[in-house]
Amino acid sequence: MSSVEEAIRTKRAVRRFTDQPIPEDAIHAILNAGRRAQSSKNTQPWSFVAVRDKGTLKQLAETGDFAGHLAGAALGVALVAPDSADRREWILFDLGQAAAYMQLAAWELGIGSCIATIYQPERAGAILGLPDGMRCDVALSFGYPATDQTRPGVVRPGGRRPFEEVVHWEQW
Ligand SMILES: Cc1cc2nc3c(=O)[nH]c(=O)nc-3n(C[C@H](O)[C@H](O)[C@H](O)COP(=O)(O)O)c2cc1C
């Protein structure tokens, strides 16, 4: 893959992975892309817990209603930030930036990924050994895409809303 444009255009959520491990240098590149992301006032509120242990990934997969894909990932990355009531929206926005950077960096390397919303952050915190005051609301699965990406029982609405519907010029 040769361009940012191509990565953005072709990237899809990948929830089923092969057993192939991700090489160390690719893991480092993914995590480093998240570290390089932009953030509100450059606060960089994130810390990343990189998880390869299958037992831990399985436990994490149970902390969200749609987090099952973590169980089959070669790498899980828990996005951790201060548990701040007054900066909550900005922190989540910042974590979204880091997530997107990591996912696009992975895609360029042929590595698929998917977000997992953590519905039980306290349970996730205990699994990950987070210190007091730190919280995990989102994690990412990474791995080489399996051929079959179907999800039984899920109708997968593909594609994106049309450009003309999304974009307004000068005023709404
Ligand atoms: C904030 C956010 C939360 C998400 N949470 C989950 C989740 O808990 N489980 C999951 O399987 N996918 C989750 N996703 C992935 C979306 O379902 C996916 O990005 C969307 O359906 C588009 O997929 P596509 O790029 O393959 O078209 C989340 C995405 C975002 C941006």
pLDDT of residue 154: 73
Query: Nearest CA to 27 among 111, 98, 85, 91?
Result: 111
Q: pTM to 2 decimals?
A: 0.96
pLDDT above 70 as % of the chain: 98
Predicted confidence (pLDDT) per residue in 129-152, tens digit: 999 999 999 999 999 999 989 877
**SS3 call for 50:** strand
Nearest CA to ligand 1 atom 22: 13
Closest CA to 75 of 35, 123, 17: 17
Which residue among 8, 117, 120 is best mutated to probe the pocket of ligand 1, counting the most ligand atoms within 8 A of its Cβ?
117
Which residues does 114 contact at the CB level (< 8 Å), separation at least 6?
13, 14, 15, 69, 140, 141
**Do 77 and 48 contact (CB within 8 A), yes or no?**
yes
Task: List, chain by chain if needed, residues with CB within 6 Å of any ligand 1 atom.
Answer: 12-13, 15, 64, 66-67, 69, 114-117
C-alpha span between 106 and 26 (Å, rounded): 8
Is the CA virtual torsion 38, 140, 88, 131 positive or negative? negative
On whether the CB atoms of residues 136 and 78 are closer than 8 A, the answer is yes
Whether the pLDDT of residue 153 is over 80: the answer is no
Nearest CA to ligand 1 atom 19: 13
Contact of 119 with 136, CB cutoff 8 Å: no
pLDDT, tens only, 41-66? 999 999 999 999 999 999 999 999 99
Handedness of CA 144, 146, 149, 152 (dihedral sign): negative
Q: Does the pLDDT of residue 4 top 70, yes or no?
A: yes
Going by alpha carbons, the residue nearest to atom 20 of ligand 1 is 13
Rounded CA-CA distance 71/10 in Å is: 24
Question: Which strands sit side by side in the sheet containing 47-51, from one edge to the other?
Answer: 47-51, 75-82, 134-143, 112-117
CATH code of 4-146, in short, is 3.40.109.10
